[in-house]
Every structure is written in structure tokens, then in C-alpha cells.
Structure 1
């Protein structure tokens, strides 16, 4: 990852985000997969988040995204899930009645992992040796 900058911050933050369809229905195939992929890419672009990698599986999504520090990873997932669900159900209305009767497309659960350029052991050593280097 490369350093990102805005007017008051320099950061290098990446998130691995995974979310599943409700009931793990395998509906993200064909045109629904394309709609999902385009919706997520457009949402990230509109919100100024850098979508580094994206893979759409039939029943879940893997995203690698970078965002400024003031943007919570939960906000990224909530926004992407909400906008993509509306887009997918609008474009493919047959999915709503067949598999997701009266409920949303995505499971409420989400996995978040952080991605950085140094390990946790390196950070711990750096913090523990501050006084020695002071």
C-alpha cells in the first residue's frame, strides 16, 4: 500500500471486508454479480474510498479497501451493503420475491481485518522501546 494524504493526515490504512448474502443464498452470479461489482466500485468512487481489490463469490463478497482514518470500517460496510442491495433488487426484482421475502440482501454480520505495512510485533517493540530511544 502507498501513503495517502489529505489536508491534515497522512495514512496507510487498508481493510479486508467480507459480507455474506442472507441465508448464504448463492445469488451473486451472472448479471447479479456484475451489478454487485459495479455498484460497489461506484460507491467507493463516490465516497472517495480506494477499492484495491474486489471478488464477488456466489454467496459472499471480499473487498480490500482503503479509506481515511475518520471513516470507520463499519461505515464503509454499511454504506456498500445498503447501496448495493438497493441496486441489485432494483435491477433484478425477481431475487427479492424468490429468495429474500421481505428482508434485505445481506446478512447483518461482517468480517473486518486490517491490512498494514508492519506487523503487530514490530509495533509492540517500537512502543516498548520509546523511552530507550528518547
Structure 2
């Protein structure tokens, strides 16, 4: 399986399930809704409807911070593999005129695409 230079495949063995729970928890706190989410072994993709009052940067910052802290506490074996769970970077794009169903389908199919590479 192809993996970029600095990505580590550690989002499995329950880490993926816990990440989803944490992301949903943070989204709810910020009046945001996760429309679609897929966790791959080395990254995750979100389609999220964010309340403009809070802004996407703030929501993502809290999601990354809380998930890193909680997951590394709950899965200590991660500490020996990674100095930190996330990098400071992330990619955000607006959906614009694209139908939500198309974006959701794209995210849903990511695991299938990666398995076939």
C-alpha cells in the first residue's frame, strides 16, 4: 500500500473507532455536523458542516488536539511509534456547488480505492 513519507499507518485496532467518537463529540460542542467521515490507516477525511460562528479552523484545531491527547492516553503503544499523532497541517475545501451526495460517495469509497492500489 502506498503511504506518503511521513504518514504512519496507526489508525486501526480500535484507534479508528475512538477517533470517530471524539470527532463527533467535538463537532457537537461546536454546533457542527459530521456529514461523512472515513478513517484510513494513515489519515482521515471529513465532510463537516461547520457553524460560521466558530469557523472551520477552530473546530479542526480542537478535533486534532483532543483526539491526539485522548487517543495517545488510551492507546499507549502509539507513543512508541509517533512523537505526536497529527501534524500542524490540514486541507480544507468548500463544497460549493458540488452535490453533497457526490462528496459523500467520494469519501465512502476512499478505503476501497486504497485497498485496490
- Taking structure 2 as the reference length, the TM-score comes to 0.73
User: Which residue is equivalent to 1:122?
Assistant: none
User: Which residue is equivalent to 1:114?
Assistant: 94
* Pair 1:90 & 2:67 matched: no
Which structure 2 residue ranges, 5 or more long, are not aligned?
99-117
- Taking structure 1 as the reference length, the TM-score comes to 0.64
* Pair 1:50 & 2:30 matched: no
Task: Indicate conservation of the 8 Å contact 2:30/2:59, yes or no.
Answer: no
Which structure 1 residue ranges, 5 or more long, are not aligned?
1-21, 119-134
Structure-2 separation of matches of 1:33 and 1:67: 22
Task: Indicate conservation of the 8 Å contact 1:23/1:107, yes or no.
Answer: no
Structure holding more strand per residue: 1
Following TM superposition, by how much is the alpha carbon of 1:70 offset from its aligned partner in structure 2, in angstroms? 2.6
SS at match of 1:107: coil
Please tell me whether Structure 1 or Structure 2 has the larger radius of gyration of its CA atoms: 1
Runs (4+) of structure 1 moved beyond 6 Å?
none
- 1 or 2 for the larger relative contact order (CA 8 Å, sep ≥6)? 1
SS at match of 2:93: strand
C-alpha RMSD over aligned residues: 1.7
